[in-house]
Amino acid sequence: MAEPVQPVDELRAADRRVPGRRGRATRRRLLESTDEHLRSTPYRALKVVDIARAAGTSPATFYQYFADVDAAVLALAREAALDGQRLVRRVADGSWRGRAGFQAALDLTDAFLAFWDAHRPVLRVVDAGSDEGDRRFHAVRVRLLDALTAELARVIGAVQAHGRNLGVDPLAQAAVVVTTLAGVAAHLFALELWGVRPAEARLAVARQVYAGTTGQRPPS
């Protein structure tokens, strides 16, 4: 929750110059090219030369702006994290009580799945890197999901305070709910191959979100 959105970005790695207008445009084209390629190519098969050429520049230029491909993906992930903050409002604004609660769960599920879909290739790499113990990827994954988890934990805590002692750690419960959302979002395609229809998966997720958040049986 720092004040500036980004610390003026990184200084140019190669020679410590501060990029001017033209430089920033090149950097942006490289980021977009990276995102593009990530949608059609497995991460390990990404070639710097392809990214650079598609951006109308050369590999050497790529290394002027990013230390390696990871750095470019991390930059994309930070942009995605910014975009993801609107999910938080969806949790905070909706009412989680009674019949409306299930609607809130459905809304959150839909918004989360859409969010993941918009940034799928990047988030895949973030997940993989984070799982492998890479600090940088872990940090950005936290940044992606932290506010949402905290807000859900607040809701869960409020439900407990309202009389229903669920006997759980709100943070742990929220984290598990968010993990379900992220897991299903990531594997939705796989579930489909498996014979699970997306609409059914969506409903099942929303039920789990509802149950996990309110401690109530979901409506049938």
Nearest to 109 by CA among 212, 6, 1: 212
Among 19, 94, 157, 218, the residue binding DNA under the rule CB under 7 A is 19
**Residue 149 CB coordination number (10 Å):** 22
Q: Is 89 in the site for DNA (CB under 7 A)?
A: no
- What does 165 bind: DNA, its own copies, none (CB cut-off 5 to 8 Å by kind)? its own copies
- Give the tokens for residue 107: 């809304």
SS3 category, 200: helix
Q: Using the minimum distance from each CB to its own copies, give the nearer residue, 117 or 169.
A: 169
CB nearer to DNA: pick between 19 and 215: 19
47 binds, among DNA, its own copies, none (CB under 5 to 8 A by kind): DNA
Name the minimum Å distance from CB 59 to its own copies: 19
DSSP state of 5: S
Q: Which residues are CB-contacts of 167 (< 8 A; sequence separation ≥ 6)?
A: none
Extract the tokens encoding 186: 């990531």
How many other CB atoms are found less than 10 A from the CB of residue 9? 14
Q: How far is the CB of 29 from DNA (least distance, A)?
A: 8
What does 28 bind: its own copies, DNA, none (CB cut-off 5 to 8 Å by kind)? none
Nearer to DNA, 47 or 86 (CB): 47
